[in-house]
Structure 1
Amino acid sequence: MRWKNRPEGSNWGDFGPDDELGRLNLLTPDKVLQGVAEVHEGRSFCLSLPLDYPGGNALNRLRHPPRRFTSGRGDKLNYNFALNRINPSFTDVVSDDAVLLFTQYSTQWDALSHVGALFDADGDGEAEPLYYNGWRAGEDIQGPSGHEDALEGVCAKRLGIEKMAETAVSGRAVMIDLEKHCGHERVLVDYARLQQILKLDGVVIEPGDMVCLYTGFADVVLGMRKNPDAPTLENSCAVLDGRDPLLLQWITDSGLSVLIADNYAVEAYPAREGQGCCAALPLHEHCLFKLGIHLGELWYLSELASYLRANGRSRFMLTAPPLRLPGAVGSPLTPVALV
């Protein structure tokens, strides 16, 4: 056993001692069928921003836009390359390209190896860096020893994003329309406010449902046309109050399988001040570290939210697998909603 103690409020071990899926275990075939039952018109919605948005690095100085390049082919580039250079009888013209992509720059999933915490799982009085279900930093999630290290073999050997991809991430999803009630004002949504919105809109969330929060933030990002203004972004649209213990308990009790938003971090970042030693990202700690709930961020939900609002609906079919990239701690994706 990797741990003697598990964090208070966690579900470590509930899905097995070596589990790497967390609450994705609740995304069962029955949930897929429930999702299929929500498809009435055969319409589909792309839920991804263009992956070169938001532009620049105003949201996160450590994440940068995609860099495109191509390889050489002799003394030419392998782009608009006429194959008659190889054989005069060939008529083909070919282009290949490559991209250097920060996996969490735009529309993304957080893997369970993205955020861990210091916790005394051994009961020896000394906290060690751990991730969901007690998988260990430095052993199960291995990082480089220096900036110049090659990344060969440096990866999440456990809890990598490929574990999520292998499930295909398909099933019933539920939209919570925060923008309808909060506009584009920067507000902290706590448990009481969230429950009020759910009641007003008649939204019901059942175990295994994938939950999406529409705030309008991605609309603000798109309106800046890849030239984001940091102060505007920091003061736009609703965010969950990760410091509210009642809200965190609701996430536990609801049985939701994943939590998705069109904003930067789902929760307010930085979070409002806590007491004593605490997580800078309390909702991330609660979801990724304690419960194994993958977080989706910077999704594009506007068109889908408008459709659901106009049709008095909140449920839809969602398919949202990340890249099957072994060992990655996050991934871009192009999720699809069907209604």
Structure 2
Amino acid sequence: MVPIKSLEKSRPKFSELPLAPTDPPASAWGLWGDQDELGTLNLLTTDVVRRAAKEVVNGETIPLNLPLDEFIQPMNPLRKPCSHHIIVKGHANDDELDINTQGSSHWDGLRHYPYQESLEYYNGVTQEDISGEELNFKAGIQNLAEKTITGRGVLLDWFSWAQKQDIDIDHFSRHEIPLEQVLEVVKEQGVEFIPGDILLIRTGWIPAYRALSPAAQVALSRRAIRTSCGIQASEAAIRWHWDNAFAAVASDTVAYEAWPSTKPYGVSMHEVFLSGWGMPIGESFDLEKLAVKCQKEGRWTFMFVSVPLNIPGGVASPPGAVAIF
């Protein structure tokens, strides 16, 4: 592992990506080795974790996970809602869950969304590698589970900032949040990023969803085009994420970037982050209590711990995420 002091020196500039001319746009394949399956989680060195532990002052914990059954119908109608069955054994109880791992709060793992033109995943893993006849766990979610996503979390409360700016937002449209607005939030909150930070962005999607009637919630999930607000996937925004060396990113929306992506850079953030850099994307995180706590404390950083499910060859996972103050 690379010590925190040398992380910035060891990473190429964004203008140097891709590292090989035949690799997909903005990819960093081979940066951590041709067989690497951790991607940007390599930034979470022991030095980074020890530094993150200094964020813990009073020991208060705030979970960042929605209930598994929060969505009556997950935002893709092909994804089944959570089903919970209690098995009464007479002397004790067991229970069984039937879930889609993207049906509530979750991490998109490195098997989720390839470069759409070549259908290649991180470090050149192919669909045949993932679903061929020979059992293969390449780029599976088990790598995230065994590493854990532990470091310093940073919340950018764009929604609170946008309300003060009287910005009108329809959370369920493809409302793009430009980098310029993100930078205004960074400035207002006085945030300074450190390599290996885990970035969380609050858009207000969750309270907007909860304000809908049950019927409207179901209708939202069954739209022909699943639009939602999120970060604009511009070249400047993608470059900014690389330059700040985030280990992972997450938000309270259903796609992090505005969806469907308009791909102003030619490829979506999902393609670059997941399959170019090996950077997990968290979606549908519950950031409401966290925003209140950060505002009360007057600080926007905290220790962040997430232990995904250890599913060999898995695509995604509930985050099991907590912010510790």
TM-score if structure 2 supplies the norm length?
A: 0.83
Percent identical across equivalent pairs? 31
Q: How does 1:38-77 map to 2 (within 5 A)?
A: 38-57=55-74, 59-69=75-85
Distance in structure 2 (CA, Å) of the matches to 1:107 and 1:268: 17
- Does the aligned pair in 2 maintain the 1:178–1:238 contact within 8 Å? no
Number of paired residues?
A: 295
Please say which structure displays the higher CA radius of gyration: 1
Q: How does 1:24-173 map to 2 (within 5 A)?
A: 24-57=41-74, 59-69=75-85, 78-79=87-88, 81-82=89-90, 93-118=91-116, 128-138=118-128, 140-142=129-131, 157-173=137-153
Q: Look up the equivalent residue of 1:141 and give its one-letter code.
A: I
Distance in structure 2 (CA, Å) of the matches to 1:106 and 1:201: 29
Pairing partner for 2:301 from 292, 315, 322: 315
1:213/1:56 CA distance change after superposition, 3 Å: same
- Does the aligned pair in 1 maintain the 2:227–2:258 contact within 8 Å? no
- Does the aligned pair in 2 maintain the 1:53–1:222 contact within 8 Å? no
Cα deviation digits, residues 304-325 of structure 1 (max 9, x gap): 1111012210100111111001
Structure 1 residue 68, shift from structure 2 partner: 2.5
- Does the aligned pair in 2 maintain the 1:185–1:237 contact within 8 Å? no
SS of aligned partner of 1:328: coil
SS of aligned partner of 2:112: coil
Distance in structure 2 (CA, Å) of the matches to 1:61 and 1:235: 10
SS of aligned partner of 1:7: coil
1:298/1:225 CA distance change after superposition, 3 Å: farther
Q: How does 1:207-222 map to 2 (within 5 A)?
A: 207-222=195-210
Q: Could you tell me which residue of structure 2 aligns to residue 334 of structure 1?
A: 320
Normalized per residue, the structure richer in helix is 2
Distance in structure 2 (CA, Å) of the matches to 1:95 and 1:225: 34
Q: Look up the equivalent residue of 1:100 and give its one-letter code.
A: D
SS of aligned partner of 2:312: coil
Q: Could you tell me which residue of structure 2 aligns to residue 12 of structure 1?
A: 29
- Does the aligned pair in 2 maintain the 1:215–1:261 contact within 8 Å? yes
Structure 1 residue 34, shift from structure 2 partner: 1.7
Pairing partner for 2:276 from 286, 290, 293: 290
Distance in structure 2 (CA, Å) of the matches to 1:135 and 1:273: 23
Q: Cα RMSD between the aligned structures?
A: 2.5
Cα deviation digits, residues 244-293 of structure 1 (max 9, x gap): 11001111111000001011000111123758xx44xx010110111111
1:211/1:230 CA distance change after superposition, 3 Å: farther
Structure 1 residue 112, shift from structure 2 partner: 0.7
Structure 1: runs of 5 or more not aligned: 71-77, 83-92, 120-127, 145-152
1:247/1:4 CA distance change after superposition, 3 Å: closer
Structure 2: runs of 5 or more not aligned: 1-19
Structure 1 residue 220, shift from structure 2 partner: 2.6
TM-score if structure 1 supplies the norm length?
A: 0.80
Cα deviation digits, residues 37-95 of structure 1 (max 9, x gap): 111111000110011012124x211112112335xxxxxxx41x33xxxxxxxxxx311
1:142/1:26 CA distance change after superposition, 3 Å: same
